[in-house]
Amino acid sequence: MTDEPIVDAMEEVEEAVVETDEAIAEEPVAAGLARIVVKRSGVETDDAFPVNPPATLGRFDPGVGPIDVDLGNLPEAVYISRKHAKITCEDGVWKVVDLGSSNGTFVLRADFEKVDEAELEEGTEFALGNARFVFHLS
């Protein structure tokens, strides 16, 4: 008994994986592929949260109900409202929308500016209260 059929099958699988990886790399970023990364002391951390719009950001509370991105485990969570902001994507335009939060939503331009709504692009820095994030298209 030879190993040729097994080797041939393995080569076919490897080729399929490479073709799939190449196809994924060539695809444009889809509307649902984004993440926000916590930034502390001027540096992005390993704390990252996937965002699939429309996504409500905040802290889970049984009295308020579920949210899409639960930031409650962050040390900065005391500044984040239960339903703080929403990230949306319509026609390829990403936005952050404040949901009437107690401590505000801010976007870094020349300085942090308090916003009710603002566009997000790759690398946009924003804050929910005192918690800072960087928006990334995955």
The per-residue pLDDT for range 30-58, each reduced to its tens digit, is 445 899 999 999 999 999 999 999 999 99
Specify the CATH number for the domain of residue 83: 2.60.200.20
102 within a domain of the structure (yes/no): yes
Query: Of all residues in the chain, what percent are helix, strand and coil, respectively (each to 5)?
Result: 20, 45, 35
For residue 101, count other CB atoms closer than 10 A to its CB: 18
DSSP 3-state assignment of 120?
strand
73 within a domain of the structure (yes/no): yes
- pLDDT for 27 equals 39
Q: Which residues of the chain have pLDDT under 70?
A: 1-32
42 within a domain of the structure (yes/no): yes
The total number of structural domains in the chain stands at 1
For residue 85, count other CB atoms closer than 10 A to its CB: 25
29 within a domain of the structure (yes/no): no
57 within a domain of the structure (yes/no): yes
9 within a domain of the structure (yes/no): no
- pLDDT for 47 equals 96
Rounded distance between C-alpha atoms, residue 125 and residue 22, angstroms:
30
1 within a domain of the structure (yes/no): no
13 within a domain of the structure (yes/no): no
Containing domain of residue 106, as a range? 34-137
